[in-house]
Amino acid sequence: MSVIKFGTDGWRGVIAREFTFANVAIVAQAVAMYVKAEGQTGKGIIVGYDNRFLGSLFAERVAEVLAANGIPVWLCDAPAPTPAVASMIAERSLAGAMMVTASHNPPEYNGIKFIPDYAGPATPEITDAITRYVREVEAGQVEVQVVPLAQATKEGLIAYECPRQPYGERLKQVVDGAVIRQAGLRVVVDPMHGSGIGYLEEIAAELGVEVVACLRHHKDPMFGGRLPEPCEEELEELARLTQEHGASLGLALDGDADRFGIIDPSGAYVTPNEVFILLAHDQLRYKGGLQKIARTVATTHRIDRMAAAYGVEVVETPVGFKYIGQEILKGAGIGGEESGGLSISSHIPEKDGLLVGLLMLELTARTGRTPKQLLAELEQTYGTAVSERVDARISPEQKDQVLAVMRDWTAERLDRWLVTKKTAVDGVKLVFDTGAWTLVRPSGTEPLVRIYLEAGDREELNGLKTALFAVLGLSAI
């Protein structure tokens, strides 16, 4: 059985167990075959990597294989954020990017994301095609081609590249630099030891923002014994420092800087759903011309209420920024997801933690209000909602049972909630008469089941959770 499988976002594996130089070379060969079949050989590929263990060496192996297949390669000369690498595709009209990263996974993992010519995550059709080539190589039908790095650079097949400057310029065109500059903002930055180090602080400083403190600001492939995931539990130090310094915002990035974590000046964590609400509202209210918003099936319905008030359509996609990216390409002005991914149509269709940090600075500068103050104002117009995600680490048998209960759901009610809609966009979602909803789906990146709930207030949510967990036989967790 092959260990090379593309999940929600690329192929990931434990270093030295699945993620070996040999398997990395197989994936690079398969991508080369895909690019050739698409007739894009001459356009070239940029190869990037983050701060994980052996990242630069794995990236070199990718470059050696691509080059041996006649594909011109731009190899990053230092760790770089995934969105910075992706933006180079648009900058240079490349065939795509191969990014060596396992995003926010634990340190023993590494992975590869293939980002095609449209500069957003590969669709399942594309990763399926690449997987077919992987199987051909594994079956010995095609041999992996390799040219040594020294020879390839000498022959001009591989050139070194740093995306920092063009990416910074792109971001500065997408956000309103003039508004940010005049506001005298102060931030604390937390790249979580990831490849965003140096990028966010510098670009913010170039926009006149004072960076008052940085933490987790050196490369550490062990991520300080924590997870490079900008969720509330991992950001308590950023929250403390943001409050202590009286900063305008605390800005965090995940391991490859495509996801964001935002801290309010009060020290409170602003959830990705809340950040999406704020930035979507900003687009609706101040930026005009927005026709469509894209959100995943797991993301807050508060977006829908706001959009309805402005006569704007909302498209619901399966979980994964690969689906949101496609909707942005098809005309959505902004797209986001509960797990911390967001982008806008004037940027690339790839999630970008730096973009979000800068957009939040712009919002703060324009309104003179904190995220939590703005959210309180929006609640008065669009009502409240409380969202929660439970990541259930359950046995395979329990998992099958839970998914079967949802799949076979026919009951009209769940306790006092009347089911008004059942959908299977990704997992199974039940929407209730009160506007509350729940979604149960297996994760595509971790061995667990995710249970999402949203309700009008905490009391309703707790009631719904108790009722649902009882039906799923999960009362014990």
Ligand X SMILES: O=P(O)(O)OC[C@H]1O[C@H](O)[C@H](O)[C@@H](O)[C@@H]1O
* Rounded-to-10 torsion of CA 453, 457, 460, 462: 60
Please say which residue, 221 or 444, places its beta carbon nearer to ligand X. 444
Give the closest residue to 248 by CA, choosing from 186, 181, 184, 188: 186
- Residues numbered 340-369 forming contacts with ligand X, rule: CB under 6 A: 341
- The first and second tokens of residue 112, run together, are 């590869």
69 vs 103, which CB is nearer to ligand X?
103
What is the nearest approach in angstroms of ligand X to the Cβ of residue 450?
Answer: 5
Asked if 118 is part of the footprint of ligand X (rule: CB under 6 A), the reply reads no
* Nearer residue to ligand X within complex by CB, 4 or 319: 319
CA distance 183 to 248: 10
| Closest C-alpha to 378, from 297, 292, 294, 275 | 275
Among 443, 462, 465, 471, binds ligand X (CB under 6 A): 443
**End-to-end alpha carbon distance in the chain:** 33
Our separate counts of H helices and E strands in the chain read 16, 22
Pick the piece of the chain touching ligand X (CB under 6 A) from 41-49, 203-211, 442-450, 468-476.
Answer: 442-450
- Give the span between the Cα atoms of 198 and 219, in whole angstroms: 11
| Identity of the residue, 64 or 352, whose beta carbon is nearer to ligand X in the bound complex | 352
- Provide the token pair at 463: 């009631």
Given the complex with ligand X, which of 271 and 445 has the nearer CB atom? Answer: 445
Question: Would you count residue 445 as binding ligand X (CB under 6 A)?
Answer: yes
- By CB under 6 A, name the one of 264, 337, 454, 460 that touches ligand X: 337
Those residues whose C-beta lies under 8 Å from the C-beta of residue 22, and which sit 6 or more positions away, are none
Instruction: Please report whether residue 264 would count as binding ligand X according to CB under 6 A.
Output: no
Structure token digits, residue 413: 């009610």
Instruction: Write down the least CB distance from residue 10 to ligand X, Å.
Output: 8
Which one-letter DSSP state was computed for residue 15?
B
The DSSP bridge partners found for residue 263 are 250, 269
Distance of CA 31 to the CA centre of its chain: 22
Between 199 and 323, CB nearer to ligand X: 323
Identified binder of ligand X from the candidate list 23, 103, 242, 387, rule CB under 6 A? 103
Which is nearer to ligand X, 44 or 325 (by Cβ)? 325
> What's the one-letter identity of residue 407?
R
CB of 456 to ligand X, least distance (A): 25
Among 166, 177, 208, 444, which residue interacts with ligand X (rule: CB under 6 A)? 444
Of the listed pieces 68-76, 319-327, 358-366, 401-409, which binds ligand X according to CB under 6 A?
A: 319-327
Q: Is 9 in the site for ligand X (CB under 6 A)?
A: yes
Binding residues for ligand X restricted to 197-236, rule: CB under 6 A: none
Binding segment for ligand X among 12-20, 180-188, 228-236, 316-324 (CB under 6 A)?
A: 316-324
Q: Which two tokens stand for residue 249?
A: 């915002």
Strands (DSSP E) along 52-117, which ranges?
A: 73-76, 96-100, 109-116
Residues that bind ligand X (CB under 6 A): 8-9, 103, 319-321, 337, 339, 341, 443-446, 450
